[in-house]
Amino acid sequence: MRLNVEEKNKIIQYAKVFFGNEANLYLFGSRVDDAKKGGDIDLFLES
């Protein structure tokens, strides 16, 4: 995964603040695969 622990924790923290603890957050796209390139962070939020 091409997000470090600090970045991952910040995303989770903000998702909980805005959508509550019951929300499910999924990372997908190029950031999941270390071999791929790409600069955006693709998130799917289920609340």
Beta strand spans in the chain (E):
24-28, 42-46
> What residues are paired with 28 via a beta bridge?
42
More confident residue, 29 or 13: 13
24 forms beta bridges with: 46
Looking at the whole model, is its pTM more than 0.85?
Answer: no
Instruction: Tell me the C-alpha distance between 15 and 24, whole Å.
Output: 9
Whether the predicted pLDDT of 16 surpasses 90: yes
Is residue 33 within 8 Å of 3, Cβ to Cβ? no
